[in-house]
Amino acid sequence: MSVDVTAEAAVAAETAATRITRIRPTRSALGIDLRELWAYHELLFFLVWRDIKVKYKQTAIGIVWAVIQPLMAMILFSVIFGHLAKIKPEQRDIPYPLFVFAGLLPWTYFSASLTMSSTSLVGNANLITKVYFPRLIIPLASIFSPLIDFFFAFMVLIGLFAWYGRAPDWHAVAIPAFLGVALLTAFGVGLWLSSLNVRYRDIPYAIPFLTQLWLYATPVIYPVSMIPRDWRWLIALNPMTGVVEAFRWSVLGSGVPHYAVFGVSSLVGLCLTASGLWYFRRTERHFADII
Amino acid sequence: MAGLAIRVEGLSKSYQLGQRRGYDTLRDSVAAAAGSLFHGRRGESHRKTIWALDDVSFDVQAGEVLGVIGRNGAGKTTLLKILSRITEPTRGLADIHGRLGSLLEVGTGFHPELTGRENIFLNGAILGMTRVEIARKFDDIVEFAGVAEFIDTPVKRYSSGMYVRLAFSVAAHLEPEVLLVDEVLAVGDAEFQKRCLGKMQEIGKSGRTVLFVSHSMPTVTRLCDRVIMLEKGAIVADGPAIDVVSRYLTSDEGTQSARRWDDLESAPGNDLVRLTSVGIVNRSGEAVESIDVRQPVGVEISFTVLKEGEPFRPQIMVVNEQGVHAFNAMDTDPRWRQSTAPGEHVSTAWIPANLLNEGLMMITVFLSTLASGRTVQHVLERDVVAFQVVDPVEGDSAKGDHSGQWYGGVRPKLDWDVR
């Protein structure tokens, strides 16, 4: 943490015109005060920073976990699905471990975000009942902190490429866009689950089950091409299908991207976020009373 | 800066009884929904609504230091939470002019794994300070807390005193134009409390607006120009601090640590015996309002017997401010077996050190006759006096180094046999 920051600018900004805080009962669940959200961007930063810092201070091997988890899953899946069940990627020249690891990367990020965000509001109950800030900051922070794990796991992917004597495709420059959809989906589902969890504490019990089912409903261990053509629309409704497929295309350069699949997935992710925001706004005002 | 700082109009907040208890389970809601399907009514229609705050209106001028007093459950905290925007009002409105800062507790968001330095930044951001602002005040914060040499140590290794000092120090360096404070001063050791009070006074004098919620009447009188008193969610008094505080102390709603009835005719009792005074005293016999949990405390009961013939036995009941009945105690002195001589009698009940829990304790006094299977109560003065039990958390009381809340009607310090 660097402390040597010059302060004159801040002092000037502080003594701006008198602010008026208006307190009224909320009538509508629509609309998000983006200006206010921006005013609290430093808090967002500090919460993300806290989550990352605390996570790695409390663990003995720290950041290694970010690498071990997808690596072990990759080995397990490669043995069971690649070796025993003989699942083959669409492009026969791509080794299965590389194929599955490229899928596991966005997936691991997504499931970690989901788990973090679903309990984020309840986990920060002490803040919610004692201090005001836009509550949206909390689930928002929880989808950013797993990005650091993603980053380290990505280093492993690069290592894996080197191991197989390959280079990532130039399409990899598009990764941020695909990751953006994963973020959006995690945020949308996280908004629903975290606000539901304030009232119904059943959510943490449902999460491991949900992520497990969702993993198998997402083409992580198998390619979309294995799904009969008539049923592909169904799997495309899962926003993570588009993300995983597009991610794989961008690093492995496998074939043509499934534009339609990615389009549908993005749209579903957007709907999840919009409805999640609506539900969050609707229930937000009672958080401090019932949490 | 002059003008209006806070305007509150018709502010009300209702809770559904049963909702307040916290979260529901999904099953309950599903069951309620199913129930309403079959019975044709909403599941929660039989829930009772209570108004924690009921049509409260007041204005605060810029630079004013306003105290808010009232018994537990009077709506003080609800008011503070609405003005801090933690919870929403059900009806009414409030406008706050100027940069708003609220302190409902110190150290909100402190994380034990993070160092003092890291927590200053995190806590500062939570309280609404910008990073540059915290950086600018950093040295002052550390100096005020006196934790310079431990600044890069995780706060989980801090003593509870250091922890509280650091937490308060961050809060004290928040520079809002309007500050809302709950009883955060009731923390730390006496020396630190004094410094906190000094800091609060400084804030008050610097022309900033302060709304201060407290149980401590001496503090309120010292810090506030004006006080409002809440009762059952409504304002029952609003005026100069001295007036409202004395009204609070003399009303039934108030609490005081000594009561005296000079006029025997109107004193509690009957024509056999009258209660003349009840007071709280410390070991050296001085009247006190609060007591260190590690010290014994005496309840001094004086009564005048008017007619000979009955034995009068004093008895006390101790109830805490949540209404939890801690215990009853009877004066077992053999003299109360025979009829009591006319005249003034004084009996002091000594509550041992390390027995009571922290907080406000209310004493009910009885004078009764217990003879041959019948009990006659001559005096029953409910919540006649009250006193604060304070734990400075120096590690030698029953809660050790734990600085947070401690549940229970009593809190005895036990002998722990370690082998």
> Is the model more confident about A49 or about B191?
A49
Shortest Cα–Cα distance, A67 to chain B (Å): 23
Identify how many contiguous H helices and E strands chain A contains and give both numbers.
Answer: 15, 1
Average pLDDT over residues A4-14: 37
- Give the pair of three-digit tokens for residue B330: 């009877």
Please write the tens of the pLDDT for every residue from A66-100: 888 888 988 999 999 888 888 888 777 888 999 99
Nearest to B125 among A4, A19, A42 (CB): A42
Instruction: Please report where in the chains the tokens 């009877």 appear, as a residue.
Output: B330
Which residue shows structure tokens 């360096």? B173
Three-state secondary structure string covering chain B: CCCEEEEEEEEEEEEECCCCCCCECHHHHHHHHHHHHHHCCCHHHHCCEEEEEEEEEEEEECCCEEEEECCCCCCHHHHHHHHCCCCCCCEEEEEEECCEEEECCCCCCCCCCCEHHHHHHHHHHHCCCCHHHHHHHHHHHHHHHCCHHHCCCEHHHCCHHHHHHHHHHHHHCCCCCEEEECCCCCCCCHHHHHHHHHHHHHHHHCCCEEEEECCCHHHHHHHCCEEEEEECCEEEEEEEHHHHHHHHHHCCCCCCCEEECCCCCCCCECCCEEEEEEEEECCCCCECCEEECCCCEEEEEEEEECCCCCCCEEEEEEEECCCCEEEEEECCCHHHHCCCCCEEEEEEEEECCCCECCEEEEEEEEEEEEECCEEEEEEEEEEEEEEEEECCCCCCCCCCCCCCCCCCCECCCCCCCCC
Q: Which of B131, B155, B170 to mutate to test the interface with A (most CBs of A within 10 A)?
A: B131
The count of residues in chain A is 291
**Rounded distance between C-alpha atoms, residue A183 and residue A145, angstroms:** 11
Instruction: Residue A160: name the closest of A108, A107, A241, A104 by CA.
Output: A104
Which residues does residue B287 pair with via DSSP β-bridges, in sequence order? B281
A137 or B217, higher pLDDT: A137
Residue of A nearest to B106 (CA): A130
Please tell me the CATH superfamily of domain B4-18+48-250, with its number: P-loop containing nucleotide triphosphate hydrolases (3.40.50.300)
Chain A residues in contact with B111 by the CB 8 A cut-off are 50, 54
Delimit the CATH 2.70.50.60 region(s) of chain B. Answer: 258-390
State residue A186's pLDDT score. Answer: 95
Model ipTM value: 0.84
Rg of chain B taking only CA atoms, in angstroms: 25
Chain B residues within an 8 Å CB radius of A57: 113-114, 154
Cβ pair A127, B126 in contact under 8 A:
yes
Judge whether residue B6 has pLDDT over 70.
yes
Q: In what order do the strands lie in the sheet with B325-330?
A: B290-292, B374-390, B359-371, B313-320, B325-330
Q: What pLDDT score does A29 carry?
A: 60
Tokens 């925001």 sit on residue: A277
Mean pLDDT along residues B301-327: 86
Res. B1: pLDDT tops 90: no
pLDDT-above-70 percentage for chain B: 84
Over the stretch B323-346, which tens digit does the pLDDT of each residue have? 678 899 999 888 888 888 899 999
Q: Name which of A171-175, A204-208, B32-36, B331-335 the model is least confident about.
A: B32-36
* pLDDT in the model for residue B211: 92
Q: Give the pLDDT mean for B127-137.
A: 92
Closest listed residue to residue A19, CA positions, set B367, B5, B24: B5
Whole-angstrom Cα distance, residue B92 to residue B14? 12
Put simply, whether A198 touches B (Cβ < 8 Å) is yes
- What count of other Cβ atoms lies within 10 Å of the Cβ of residue B394? 14
Burial of B190 (0-12, 13-18, 19+ CB in 10 A): exposed
CA-nearest residue to A138 within chain B is B126
Q: Render A127-196 in DSSP notation, one character per residue.
A: HHTT--S-TTHHHHHHHHTTHHHHHHHHHHHHHHHHHTT----GGGGGHHHHHHHHHHHHHHHHHHHHHH
- Give pLDDT, residue A11: 36
CATH 3.40.50.300, chain B: domain bounds: 4-18+48-250
User: Rounded to an integer, what distance in angstroms lies between the CA atom of residue A207 and that of residue B293?
Assistant: 46
Higher pLDDT, B300 or A2: B300
CA-to-CA distance for A182 and B327, rounded, in angstroms?
59
Nearest-angstrom CA–CA distance, A54 and B260: 57
N residues, chain B: 419
- Say which residues have a Cβ less than 8 Å from residue B304's Cβ, sequence separation at least 6: B264, B267, B273, B274, B276, B343, B344, B345
Helix (H, G, I), strand (E, B) or coil at A81: helix
Q: Are B401 and B159 within 8 A, CB to CB?
A: yes
| Binary contact (B86, A288; C-beta < 8 A) | yes
Average pLDDT over residues A241-257: 82
Q: Between B292 and A138, name the one with better pLDDT.
A: A138
Res. A102: pLDDT tops 80: yes
Whether A155 and A105 have beta carbons less than 8 Å apart is answered as no
pLDDT at A10: 37
Q: What is the CATH architecture of B258-390? A: Distorted Sandwich (2.70)
Check residues A273 and B172 and name the one with the higher pLDDT. Answer: A273
Query: Distance between CA A149 and CA A55 in Å, rounded?
Result: 11
Lowest pLDDT segment from A66-80, B80-94, B248-262, B355-369: B248-262
The reply to whether A4 touches chain B by the CB within 8 Å rule is yes
Query: Are the beta carbons of A169 and A250 closer than 8 angstroms?
Result: yes
pLDDT digits (tens, 9 = 90+) for B397-419: 888 877 666 778 899 999 899 98
What pLDDT shows up at residue A190?
Answer: 95
Angle at A70 between CA A67 and CA A76, to 5 degrees: 130
Write down the residue that tokens 């914060």 correspond to. Answer: B141
Mean pLDDT, residues A47-53 taken together: 92
Mean pLDDT along residues B119-145: 92
Q: Which tokens sit at B51?
A: 């108004």
Q: Which of residues 4-63 of B touch A (CB under 8 A)?
A: 15, 19-20, 22-27, 29
Alpha carbons B132 and A6: distance in angstroms, whole number:
7
Q: Is the pLDDT of residue A25 over 50?
A: yes
Q: What is the pLDDT of residue A15?
A: 41
Contacts of A3 in chain B (CB under 8 A): 117, 135, 138
Q: How far apart are CA B178 and CA B166, in angstroms?
A: 22
Q: With contact defined as beta carbons under 8 Å apart, do B156 and B193 qualify?
A: no
**Structure tokens that stand for A36 in this block:** 């206010």
Provide, as residue numbers in chain A, all residues whose Cβ is less than 8 Å from the Cβ of B18: none
Report whether pLDDT(A110) > 90. yes
Count of A-B CB contacts under 8 Å:
142
User: pLDDT of B55-93, one tens digit each?
Assistant: 999 999 988 989 998 876 788 889 999 999 999 999 999
By mean pLDDT, which of A2-16, A150-164, A213-227 is the weakest?
A2-16
Q: What is the pLDDT of residue B8?
A: 95
Give chain B's mean pLDDT. 83
Please state the pTM of the whole predicted model.
Answer: 0.71
Amino acid identity, residue B343? G
Locate A230 and state its tokens.
């008539």
- Where do we find the tokens 């006196």? B146
B170–chain A nearest CA distance, Å: 14
pLDDT digits (tens, 9 = 90+) for B207-228: 789 898 887 676 787 788 899 9
Residue A133 sits at the chain B interface (C-beta within 8 Å): yes
In the predicted structure, residue A59 carries a pLDDT above the cut 80? no
Residue B43 confidence (pLDDT): 43
